[in-house]
Amino acid sequence: MWHIRFHFSSQQPLNRLQHDFRAEVPALIAHLITHRQYSAFEEYYVEITRAFYVAESKEQQTALQADPKDFFKHVRLRIEEEGLRSESVLPIGSWSLVREVTEKALWGGRLEWIATQSTSRCF
């Protein structure tokens, strides 16, 4: 089960394609809820989501160092994508948690850089 989740969560955001097992996830989650195991799954999901987006954010900041506006657009798009993914496979109670973790991981210490770079171009 954890292998499927790791593969599902780490590869889907990377290639932005719907994973082959995506349709199976709601059934898996229903089973976990029935057996009171969902909280362990949710913790794992949140942690690997955080790790994924922290790494991606760092890569994107490096790649878009000269263009914070594109970095901003990228982050907004990724937050929207992760929200849609959450809504399609997770219980409603997890949506806000996943969104918060995604936002913090992607923005994580980069807002000052965006503001500084953006305002320096205005003057």
Average pLDDT, consecutive stretches of 10 residues, N- to C-terminus, the chain (123 residues)? 46 62 88 96 96 96 91 95 94 97 94 78 53
Closest Cα to residue 64, out of 75, 53, 49, 78?
A: 75
Q: Where are the domains of the chain?
A: 2-120
Put residue 67 in one of left, alpha, beta given phi > 0 → left and psi -120 to 50 → alpha: beta
pLDDT per residue as tens digits for the range 81-113: 999 999 999 999 999 999 999 999 999 988 888
Which two tokens mark 121? 């171009």
Amino acid at 43: E
- Which two three-digit tokens encode residue 107? 């923005």
User: What average pLDDT does the structure give for the chain?
Assistant: 85
CATH 1.20.1310.10 is right for the domain spanning 2-120:
yes
